[in-house]
Amino acid sequence: MKEPNTTLSVQELIAQKSNRGLLSAIEKIIPKLLLAIAAVSVLTTIGIMVTLIVETLVFFSRVSVLDYIFGTEWYPFANSTATYGVLPLIIGTLKITGIAIIVAVPIGIATAIYLSEYASERARKMIKPVLEVLAGVPTIVYGFFALTFVTPILRSIFPEVSIFNAISPGIVVGIMIIPMIASLSEDAMNSVPNSMREGAYALGSTKLEVALKIVLPAATSGIVASTVLAISRAIGETMIVAVAAGSTPRFDMDVTGSIQTMTAYIVQVATGDAGYGTTIYYSIYAVGFTLFLFTLVMNMLAQFISKRFREEY
Q: Could you list the residue range(s) of the whole structural domain that residue 130 is in?
A: 74-308
* 84 and 175 together in one domain: yes
Are 51 and 199 members of one domain? no
139 and 32 in one domain?
Answer: no
Q: State the burial class of residue 248 (Cβ atoms within 10 Å of its Cβ: 0-12, 13-18, 19+).
A: middle
Q: What are the distances in angstroms from CA 196 to CA 90, 125, 307?
A: 43, 25, 21
Burial of 291: CB neighbours in 10 Å, binned 0-12, 13-18, 19+: buried
pLDDT at 310: 64
Which helix (H) or strand (E) segment holds residue 84: the answer is strand 83-84
Residues 200 and 106 occupy one common structural domain: yes
Statement to judge: residues 205 and 282 lie in one domain:
yes
Domain end residue (candidates: 35, 61, 87):
61
Domain co-membership, 246 together with 297: yes
pLDDT at res. 1? 46
| pLDDT given for residue 15 in this prediction | 58
CB 245 within 8 A of CB 256: no
List the alpha helices (DSSP H) in the chain: 10-60, 65-70, 87-113, 121-136, 139-145, 151-157, 167-190, 194-202, 207-210, 216-218, 220-235, 239-244, 262-268, 279-308
For the chain, report the end-to-end CA distance as a whole number of angstroms: 58
Task: Specify whether 132 is located in the same domain as 33.
Answer: no
* pLDDT value for 313: 55
Same structural domain, 238 and 297: yes
CB distance 131 to 175 below 8 Å = no
- Domain count along the chain: 2
pLDDT tens-place string over residues 150-171? 999 999 998 888 899 999 999 9
Q: Which residues pair with 83 in a beta bridge?
A: 75
- Say whether both 87 and 214 belong to one domain: yes
CATH number at residue 241: 1.10.3720.10
Interatomic CA distance for residues 223 and 109, integer angstroms = 8
Residues of the chain short of pLDDT 70, as ranges, are 1-23, 272-274, 309-313
Q: Does any domain span residue 257? A: yes
Q: Maximum distance among all alpha carbons in the chain?
A: 104
Q: What is the pLDDT of residue 176?
A: 92
Q: Give yes or no: residues 36 and 79 share one domain.
A: no
3-state secondary structure of 217: helix
pLDDT for 198 equals 84
